[in-house]
Amino acid sequence: MSKISWLLFTFLLFTAPAVAVENYTVSGYVKDSTSGELLIGSTVYVQELGIGTQTNVYGFYSLTIPAGNYTLEYRYLGYVSRIIRINLMKNEQINVDLVPEELKLEEIVITSSRGDRNITDVEMSAQELDIRTIRKIPSFLGEVDVIKSIQLLPGVSTVGEGASGFNVRGGSVGQNLILLDEAPVYNSSHMLGFFSVFNPDAVKDIKLYKGAVPARYGGRIASILDIRMKDGNNKKFGVDGGIGTVFSRLAVEGPIVKDKGSFILAGRRSYIDVLARPFTSFFDNGAALNFHDLTLKTNYRFNQNNALYLSGYFGRDKFLFDREQGFSWGNKTATLRWNHLFGDRVFSNFTFFISDYDYELKFGDTERDKFHWESRIRTMDLKPEFTYSINASNELIFGGDLLYYKFRPADATGVSNGTPINVSLEEKFAFESALYIGNETKFSKAISARYGLRLSNFQSLGPGYVYEWETTVPGQRKRLISSRRVEKFEKIASYTNLEPRASLRVKIGNKMSVKASYNRMAQYLHLISNTTASNPLDVWRPGTNNLKPQRGDQFALGIFRNFGQMDDYEFSLEGYYRTTDNQVEYIDGAEIFINEYLEADLLSGIGRAMGLEFYLKKNTGKLNGWISYTVGKTELKVEGINNGEWYPTRFDQRHNLKIVGYYNLNDRWTFSANFTFLSGTPTTFPTDRFTQQGYLIPYNAYGSRNNVRIANFHRLDISAIFYGKKYRRNGKARKNRDYWIFGFYNVYARRNPFSIYFSQGEDRPAAGEPVPSFATQVSIIGTIVPAISYNFKF
């Protein structure tokens, strides 16, 4: 640990407000009463002191407060609040089960605020979506989708339908860290970008950090998407499933040992190929067109102080022309975690994970001519973390992170007319490590701050060559000056970054707060992609002496205000400004696949993004939903592109409006709708035409990039959920629950543009005539798409 970190550590301990002598700790777990699922982020509020805390991602809370009589209130959205009175004279462990609201018995009426966490919490620029809300949002082809739902939140956008990933506050797709039970998922999409790899049946909670990122996270500069899987019902067995237009899902969960251990196993498979098989011979010789995924999690709680979690994900997309030829890709992750309590005040977690992403391409139907190409990135990580509840005003969190990466950019071999060929690139290795410390201090009822520091280091290791390049003409392939051989595990480059994080909250009255934050993030892995949308072939590359770490600095300021007695309306207005450096761009005609000299084709520049996010959410009543509006701008400045001037990125959208509403008509019907409006994304138009050897080539006389915008995007989706009867004719409750989802995507069948391209058309140019020229607008989903799915639970 560096001197600075030690200094900070001591600083934190000494600035903590004077500790009263007779402090005791009340701690425990908050769970769902029906399934035993640990509830993440439920509020524990001490009414007498006007302070509170939240359960962590393992459902654990710990509050250290002076001895006395207290009224503790446990709250979680969608659950009935519980009030527990205690006489705190010693350390107490209180585990609380909360009852889901839909099971609320009529006679129990508890009036309490639904949770004003958005006001009281220091956290800003973070967004949570619980899976029950996600399930109500109309989605493409009726499939509930985590990533698509996130795109309805302020500050989040995408370049268009079908594109993988998402963009946060002007960041690129490769600047988001997507974690599934703490393991990074390198490609979050099935079937390009149409579906995400996360099975909603196995997802418990998702949280997106757009800014004010806590010190415990690092490695990407735009956002962290933290997805937590369900633990599985530890009280009784259950089956969840669905039959949809594109795929079917099935999830089984249940106790291993009642109240102590449980498991969940969830799978999905698409079946376009199964349905098409009777109508075509296409699939007879081994062709495949499908994806599947399997999610497994199991946990066991040995006692109050120890719990073990094991979770895994396996998914694959397959596009095969026949047995020998085609394309497939997939993620695999496995996470092992051990929660341990040191006394009542120190919660610790040790995580070990392996994450693996690979793709494979193979061509050639004979032994004399074939080609096989595989690319892989493997990550292993050991991550200890400690949370120390010092007193009522301070909660210290510290830990470390040791990541090991193994890159296989291309394992590419083949046979050409009987002669073997090999264009494989050498494996690369890297270590990324971090130490972090953060504290949350409640200075007074009104003022709270969270501050921390992350010290990260990256070691890029051989085998391979260390190249030195020289720019001859900016924007064109660089020239090699020298190369030096390094052996396995010898250093290619090493980088260290100090990443400060801080946020401050000032509460004004009970219903309003103002928050400000700053964070610096460093990123050592780079997603190499020069196409409009990110795609599964994109390669992650480690930083080198030439590929320097990306850094992002973000400032954010926000006002948070709730309205109504029950906090019926939540409102927030946040502004952000972000600057970045070492942003990766590409020369025109860059060869990004299987290229030993990739660095010669990469350019580096700086970026800036700013925006204002408006969010209004209605929590209560029959009509729920939100309005999210972002006005934003994101630009890059790269020597060699756009004459070295600032230009908008491909995903720069000035206006981004989303309206989501769902209406619970009665026990049987829920209707929902969402509307999306996005400003047209920038693109480059030519000015002139010229010919070379008969080919018509577009030419931009000004050498500009993204100089015009395509038409605006807007779309309305609607859906209806029809729940099966809850009771039998004889009045008994049915054991099985089921529901239908009917939906229409793009209701008014707008042909929203994805891009406009310029070409000489599809026809063969006729001799003796000038070559024609066309502008063509592409709509990925240019029509209304109906959907129906049947879902069940028993």
Partner 1 sequence: MKKNSTLVIGFFIIIAFFSCEDQIAVDLPESEPVVVIDAWINNKPETQVIKVMKTLPYFDQEFLPGVNDAIVRVEDMTQQPIIFEFKKGEGDGIYEWEPWWNQPHFGIIGHDYKLTVQIGETVYEAYSSMGRVPPVDSLTFRFEKGNNFIADSYIAGFYANDPPGIGDTYWIKTWKNGLFLNKPSEINISWDAGGSPGAVVDGVSFIRSVRDMINPFDKDEEGKYMSPYAPGDSIRVEIHSITNEAYTFLYQTLIQTNRPGGFAELFAQPLANVISNIQLVAGAENSAKAIGFFNVSAVSDMEGWLDPDKLPPKE
Contact between 373 and partner 1 per CB under 8 A: yes
- C-alpha 606/C-alpha 647 separation (Å) is 11
Stretch that binds partner 1, among 168-176, 449-457, 574-582, 597-605 (CB under 8 A): 597-605
> Would you say the C-alpha torsion 188, 190, 193, 199 has a positive or negative sign?
negative
Where in 400-429 is the site for partner 1 (CB under 8 A)? 410, 412, 414, 416-419, 421, 423, 425
- Nearest to residue 268, comparing CAs of 245, 235, 303, 242? 242
Here the tokens at position 738 are: 């089921």
Contact between 692 and partner 1 per CB under 8 A: yes
Contact between 687 and partner 1 per CB under 8 A: yes
Contact between 702 and partner 1 per CB under 8 A: yes
The answer to whether 155 and 535 have CB atoms below 8 angstroms apart is no
Contact between 591 and partner 1 per CB under 8 A: yes
Where in 531-590 is the site for partner 1 (CB under 8 A)? 531-533, 535, 537, 588-589
Stretch that binds partner 1, among 179-187, 237-245, 280-288, 713-721 (CB under 8 A): 280-288
Stretch that binds partner 1, among 90-98, 99-107, 256-264, 276-284 (CB under 8 A): 276-284
Contact between 678 and partner 1 per CB under 8 A: no
Residue 119 parent element (H or E): helix 117-120
Stretch that binds partner 1, among 9-17, 181-189, 387-395, 592-600 (CB under 8 A): 592-600
Contact between 643 and partner 1 per CB under 8 A: no
Residue 275 parent element (H or E): helix 272-276
Of 506 and 696, nearer to partner 1 (C-beta) is 696
Contact between 700 and partner 1 per CB under 8 A: yes
Outline where DSSP puts E strands in 564-710: 569-586, 602-618, 623-638, 647-648, 655-664, 669-678, 682-683, 688-692, 695-699, 708-709
Contact between 10 and partner 1 per CB under 8 A: no
Where in 181-200 is the site for partner 1 (CB under 8 A)? 192-193
Residue 77 parent element (H or E): none
DSSP string, 207-231: EEESSS--TT--S-SSEEEEEEE--
Of 109 and 767, nearer to partner 1 (C-beta) is 767
Contact between 489 and partner 1 per CB under 8 A: no
- What string marks each residue from 310 to 329 as x (binds partner 1 by CB under 8 A) or -? ---------x-x-----x--
- Please give the backbone phi and psi of residue 252, each rounded to the nearest 5 degrees, phi first: -120, 135
- C-alpha 395/C-alpha 402 separation (Å) is 24
From the CB of 405, what's the least distance to partner 1, in Å? Answer: 21
- C-alpha 454/C-alpha 215 separation (Å) is 6
Where in 745-774 is the site for partner 1 (CB under 8 A)? 751, 754-760, 764-765, 767, 770, 772-774
Of 343 and 770, nearer to partner 1 (C-beta) is 770
Q: Which of residues 9, 271, 338, 371 is near partner 1 by CB under 8 A? A: 371
The answer to whether 383 and 335 have CB atoms below 8 angstroms apart is no
Strand partners for 470: 479
Q: Which of residues 6, 11, 690, 727 is near partner 1 by CB under 8 A? A: 690
Where in 345-364 is the site for partner 1 (CB under 8 A)? 361, 363-364
Contact between 650 and partner 1 per CB under 8 A: yes
- C-alpha 539/C-alpha 408 separation (Å) is 10
- C-alpha 165/C-alpha 168 separation (Å) is 10
From the CB of 144, what's the least distance to partner 1, in Å? Answer: 19
Stretch that binds partner 1, among 24-32, 451-459, 717-725, 776-784 (CB under 8 A): 776-784
- What string marks each residue from 151 to 180 as x (binds partner 1 by CB under 8 A) or -? -----------xx-----------------
Contact between 483 and partner 1 per CB under 8 A: no
3-state SS, residue 601: helix
- Burial class of 224 by CB neighbour count within 10 A (0 to 12, 13 to 18, 19+): buried
Number of amino acids touching partner 1 (CB under 8 A): 101
Stretch that binds partner 1, among 68-76, 235-243, 499-507, 686-694 (CB under 8 A): 686-694
The answer to whether 199 and 295 have CB atoms below 8 angstroms apart is yes
Contact between 695 and partner 1 per CB under 8 A: yes
Is the bond preceding residue 463 a cis peptide, omega within 30 degrees? yes
Of 264 and 636, nearer to partner 1 (C-beta) is 636
- C-alpha 83/C-alpha 103 separation (Å) is 18
- C-alpha 550/C-alpha 373 separation (Å) is 29
